[in-house]
A and B are shown apart, each in its own frame.
Chain A
């Protein structure tokens, strides 16, 4: 099986494509495929030319840390829970998330996700629940990985602009629901950085590894 990867040596350099041969198991995840290709005396492309090892990131390898977010056959997903057996076609196409600056190969700089939340003071501070219900929704919202898949797929999100996307909306919901004294400020932030510009394609919900129902967060915040 062929594995085509969009690579880039450094933040400043030009991207290029390289194709590798994969002869491992189809039960492997794409993370496993990358490890398999990298783990050789010499790493060579499909034409036998020696090249550098492929840069990518991981930590938990079980879908709960978000490190290995990338685009696989056109779909933003976590490499550790995307399996070769489930992919169609004779070639796996892999590229880095494109909404963030590339650092090296499949490693991108997602610091803007944290930066946006920091600059807008999205923290609970003190637990003073807004209402008794919604525990399950808060539990799921707090599982957000900050992996950035929701922003990758979002038609409205552009890195560095004022629309902060689903990841922001869900944290806004979590804070406002768990601290009523901040509710008003948070709803203001939400309106400024989300509410007005979301075109409601809701593709963010399809790609979310934690299946966070962003629409429920939006509905709650819109009511406030």
Chain B
């Protein structure tokens, strides 16, 4: 029987595992933690689909156009056509496995309007769409566990891929329960490891999405794509450990952004953009807030207790719990925060990377969102990409016997042992935090050549010391061995942002403020023995 190794058990990983199992392919589903802790559970908004009973005027073609437009024409047309064309099937599948969607009196799923979209086509489960989909998929995985087609491995971390001559034969994992590394061979390896949050420290997402797998695979020869496109959410509440997302709904209901100068409130978005200023797109508002020197506030108090309680209870509760704020009377201090990564592993239409039999799905793969992502498209892409990879794998002949990786494995084990024997109190998190501070400053919402050069210098410095330092070995091994991969990924992201001398979607350069025809293709970056090579994918290699 064909065997697949799926790494990451959020929505994309589970979607892939379930579909593989449907095809009769055996799946080993690996993750450090249970699916209930994946970042997927934090996706609140919904999932986009144009179904037979669509809103009058809407069409799949319109969904495709909105997605391509939102992505500033960098999301490949063929890929996006596939994504939107399969949305109805995906929605039906999710309903069919028992996902608790919000429904009307007849039991039909309800849809809501979402930013950047011409029609209402976002289906949702209250305020916890991601969580509800995760719960349904966990049960579906369980069904195939019972059938012997899916085997879950918990407390297992990705270490590296087993690659020989451009072909992937499996992965080296670190089993935390047994406290030892283990090589797992497979006919295909699918990465579903999520976004690159650790590059920026505190974000709206999970602490567990650190980008290590992408960084490590990049060092092993996998191409990365569009790393400069990072979506900021304009309104988040800062806490000691993370940035809490204040839903767009707060502005949708009439919330107003302002700052105070000389005791007077300046409603800067309205002054610049008119009545609908507070509802401008995420990237515009993020940049405008970033340009204000004073603390910016979001005021919803004037909406009154009744409206807030009925329409914005989550906003009220998050502010009370994490900010000790009473939104009935107090404005909310807000700041933009990193929210989603459009870039990631470069994949072809079948979700295979440039390394044969190595696939990537979900947020760690770069495909559909181009220069910016529409709300409701990430859950759709997570489901769709998992399915595409599974179909491709099922169609292929098995890989046959693997070459001998024992030298590679023993070298890596030796390195791990050496790290583990260090008697040092120095925490890896110090370097991670220095990197995050640098990335926030140098590769923030607004970048320029100088800031990116400085960022590259910083990253190079951290990389040069990272290998020489000894770290506290009382923490998880993964925490220590993942550092270099994370730093390398950051370095690659800076390189991509420096290369793209234009402003497009979420990438804004103060020294090149206009969109340029010349850059109308995806950025591809590769790594060869310490050398970073960046190019534009003008031949559309990754759109086939």
Binding site for B on A (CB under 8 A): 24-25, 27-29, 31-32, 35-36, 38-39, 41-43, 50, 52-53, 55, 57-67, 80-81, 83, 85, 103, 110-111, 114, 117-118, 121-127, 129, 132, 135, 138-139, 142-147, 174-175, 178-179
Partner of A142, one of B135, B240, B321: B135
- Partner of B41 from A27, A31, A60 at Cβ < 8 Å: A60
Q: Would you mind naming 16 contact pairs between A and B with Cβ atoms under 8 Å apart?
A: A24-B240, A29-B240, A41-B425, A53-B427, A59-B33, A59-B38, A62-B244, A65-B36, A118-B142, A121-B146, A122-B142, A125-B139, A126-B96, A138-B100, A142-B100, A143-B131
Do the beta carbons of B427 and A123 come within 8 Å of each other?
no
A-B complex: 4 closest residue pairs judged by Cβ atoms: A124-B98, A52-B474, A123-B139, A59-B37
- Report Cα–Cα, A32/B202, bound state, in Å: 13
Contact A144 B98 (CB under 8 A): no
Q: Which residues from 205 to 248 on chain B have a C-beta closer than 8 Å to any C-beta of chain A?
A: 206-208, 239-242, 244
Q: Which A residues are in CB contact (< 8 Å) with B36? A: 65-66, 145-147
The interface bits of chain B over 402-441 (1 if a CB of A lies within 8 angstroms of the residue's CB, else 0) are: 0000000000000000000000011101000000000000
> Smallest CB–CB gap between B302 and chain A, Å?
26
Check if B128 is an interface residue, CB within 8 A of chain A: yes
Q: Please report the C-alpha to C-alpha distance between residue A58 and residue B239 in the assembled complex, in whole angstroms.
A: 15
Q: List, in ascending order, chain A residues with CB within 8 A of B131's CB.
A: 64, 142-143
Question: Would you call B135 and A117 a contact (CB within 8 A)?
Answer: no
Rounded to whole Å, the gap between the CB of A1 and the closest CB of chain B is 15
Q: Is B312 an interface residue (CB 8 A)?
A: no
Q: Is the CB of A132 within 8 A of B107?
A: yes
The SS class assigned to the A binding surface is loop
Q: Which residue of B139, B146, B176 has the most chain A CB atoms within 10 A of its CB atom? A: B139
- In the complex, chain A residues whose CB is within 8 Å of the CB of B96: 126-127
Please tell me the size bucket of the interface on B: 35 or more
| Docked pose: A167 CA to B475 CA in angstroms | 30
* B142 in contact with A139 (CB, 8 Å): no
Which one of A38, A65, A110, A127 lies within 8 Å of B98 (CB-CB)? Answer: A127
CB-CB under 8 A for A123 and B140, given A53-B472, A58-B207, A61-B242:
yes
Q: Mark B132-157, 1 if CB is under 8 A from A, else 0.
A: 10011001101101100000101000
Asked if A50 and B37 make an inter-chain contact with CB atoms under 8 angstroms apart, the answer reads no
Closest Cβ of chain B to A158, distance in Å, is: 21
- Whose C-beta in chain A lies nearest to the C-beta of B103? A135
B95 and A127 contacting across the interface, CB-CB below 8 Å: yes
Q: Which of B146, B241, B322, B472 contacts A35 (CB 8 A)?
A: B241
Task: Determine whether the beta carbon of B33 is less than 8 Å from that of A57.
Answer: yes
Contacts A35-B241, A53-B475, A66-B36 aside, 20 further interface pairs with beta carbons under 8 A come to: A24-B240, A32-B241, A35-B240, A39-B427, A52-B472, A57-B33, A60-B39, A62-B242, A63-B321, A83-B321, A103-B177, A114-B154, A121-B146, A124-B98, A125-B143, A142-B135, A143-B132, A143-B135, A146-B36, A178-B98
B residues in contact with A125, CB < 8 Å:
97-98, 139, 143
A113 to chain B, nearest CB (A): 8
**Which B residues are in CB contact (< 8 Å) with A43?**
425
